[in-house]
Structure 1
Amino acid sequence: MTDSTKQSKTFILGVAGGSGSGKTYFAKALHRALGEQATIVYQDNFYIDQSHRFDHDGGSVNFDHPESLDLKLLAQCLGELKTGSVTNIPIYDFVTHSRKQEQLKVGPAKIVIVDGILIFHPEYLRAQFDEMIFFDTPESLRYARRLERDVKERGRTPEGVQAQFLKQVKPMHDEFVEPSKHHAHSIVKDLDDYYEYFDSYKAKLLKIIG
């Protein structure tokens, strides 16, 4: 951590990794542990409207390509939070695959946690982070978690999830997500050490909060 990040009014933490890597679990757990001193922003809310293309089971829509997201808007929102301003976060509906009319007003906090698979891909977005953590999880485990989530929470069929994983998720992970881990300050690989790592990083953020 540089002196400039220590002086920053708001500390912005990026948590990335492949779909089903455990990054969201980690980000949510940190958010709960830090309470009102922290806020969380999800990359998934920044998908562009895909309702005109979606065939109810993935189809031609590639949700794992950077162009499916408005990452510049995400960078803008983080910039506003970093200066202590309130920002408006879009809300994406994964059933209709469109943005809801209402927006989520997010106020400034000492710690802003950002969760997403592609947040380390563009340089202009990486520039917003004070620290970046990447969860490097085996593909078989990532697929099993994604299958369970998409069927239970997003109304997908197992066949559709598998087809999308092979056609889009895996190729995009290999092309965009995996290379982005080299920008991370920390890479979490050993799942057996997860809780030890979590406690250690939580303590680090509590020191930043003061």
Structure 2
Amino acid sequence: MSKKPYVIGIAGSSGSGKTFFLKCFLNHFKAHEVTLISQDDYYIPVVTKTREENRLYNFDLPTTINSALFYDDIKALITGKTVFKEEYTFHNPNIKPKLLELKPAPILLVEGLFIFHFKEINALLDERIFMHAEEEIALKRRLKRDLLERGYNEEDVKYKWFNHVLPSFKEYLLPYKSLCDHIIENNTDDTQRMIKITDEISDSLRSKLQL
């Protein structure tokens, strides 16, 4: 690429609807127009031998992320290089990790809980999007996801929510809410509303970047 990509940071609380937002957003662009790099693929590997150890281990801290490698890969994409990275499978032994090939594109989406907290990464962003949902609604969504998709039990999900997820959100993400360019309050499961929001943001980007 001859031109630096436009870098957009997307962060939000667990249960805020980031996954659906990203799906809607990506549908507005062709594969060569946008690349997504996710903080989730940069967890530092840990060995948890028992269910209790896994329950108590706090994944919702900046120190669990290899932020240096995350930063290096973002920089590589910005300078036009392709990045190869093994996906993170949330310690699920039944899933074989895929080798991700991230190619540079005119729009680079950087997604993750700590992307505003990591100062070097935050400095790379041209635009910031903050996804938010009320605590009660976000917890219900988290329970639905973790019970159905990841096989956790309700006690473990609630333990992590109140002891890890919520405190981390309040300390490492919420303070940056007012500094973001777009604040999306997502307290309903109104898919048409989310599609409309991504329509507006993507149309603005196309005009700005002349895609």
1:44/1:72 CA distance change after superposition, 3 Å: same
Which residue in the other structure is 1:114 paired with?
110
Does 1:30 pair with 2:25? yes
Residue 53 of structure 1: how far off its partner (Å): 5.8
1:54/1:139 CA distance change after superposition, 3 Å: farther
Instruction: Say which SS state the counterpart of residue 132 (structure 1) adopts.
Output: strand
Does 1:179 pair with 2:175? yes
How many residue pairs were aligned? 203
- Percentage of identical aligned residues: 31
Q: 1:48 and 1:100 mapped to 2: Cα distance?
A: 17
Which ranges in structure 1 are unaligned for 5 or more consecutive residues?
Answer: 1-6
Q: 1:137 and 1:188 mapped to 2: Cα distance?
A: 9
Contact 1:75 1:128 (8 Å CA) reproduced: no
Which residue in the other structure is 1:202 paired with?
202
Root-mean-square deviation (CA, aligned residues, Å) is 2.4
The one-letter amino acid paired with 2:144 is E
Contact 2:28 2:199 (8 Å CA) reproduced: no
Instruction: Say which SS state the counterpart of residue 133 (structure 2) adopts.
Output: coil
Instruction: Say which SS state the counterpart of residue 59 (structure 1) adopts.
Output: helix
* Deviation >6 Å, runs of 4+: none
1:26/1:197 CA distance change after superposition, 3 Å: same
- 1:125-148 Cα offsets, whole Å, 9 max, x none, are 101211110012111111111111
Q: 2:73 and 2:111 mapped to 1: Cα distance?
A: 14
Q: TM-score scaled by structure 2?
A: 0.86
- 1:8-49 Cα offsets, whole Å, 9 max, x none, are 521111110101111221122211221211121111111111
Which residue in the other structure is 1:87 paired with?
83
Which residue in the other structure is 2:66 paired with?
70
Does 1:157 pair with 2:153? yes
Q: 1:85 and 1:70 mapped to 2: Cα distance?
A: 20
Which ranges in structure 2 are unaligned for 5 or more consecutive residues?
Answer: none
Q: Which aligned pairs between 1:116-131 and structure 2 lie closer than 5 A?
A: 116-131=112-127
- 1:43-84 Cα offsets, whole Å, 9 max, x none, are 111111122366278422111111111122111111111111
Q: TM-score scaled by structure 1?
A: 0.86
Q: 1:174 and 1:29 mapped to 2: Cα distance?
A: 27
Which residue in the other structure is 1:4 paired with?
none
Q: 2:83 and 2:116 mapped to 1: Cα distance?
A: 21
